[in-house]
Homo-oligomer: A and B are copies of this chain.
């Protein structure tokens, strides 16, 4: 099983990704989709990344998930560039014989992306303000639990 890992500026279609996972003979498919929210007058999110490192880092976590759980398929997509509220940022989907494996692998990858994937978000508001998003301690805690 080779994970399908993509780092791209282009939009993607969750339904297409899910349908592909459903055709792999799995008993369970878990997925997570992250979407830009328009809270507090947010007009856009700019995602900067470290191209030489990003694909290798995402490929590394996908390979680690495939090592920990017997997966039939794993898809990880992360967008960069300028996104607006309602746009999808990230898709993680895993297919496995049993539900526990698909769910655990999906949660592992999404927790990991928050803390170990070289992306930085800048929020741009309708009133002209702009700020870099700060890392959250809760995300570090979520990530650390997979180390045990």
Contact = CB atoms under 8 A, between A and B. Distances in A.
Interface of A: 14-16, 18-19, 22, 25-39, 88, 97, 99-100, 102-103, 106-107, 110, 138, 142
Given A15-B19, A18-B18, A19-B14, A102 B32 contact: yes
Interface centre among A19, A26, A30 (most CB of B within 10 A): A30
A93 to B, nearest CB: 9
Contacts of A30: 30-32, 106
Nearest to A103: B107
Interface centre among A22, A29, A33, A35 (most CB of B within 10 A): A33
B32 A26 contact: no
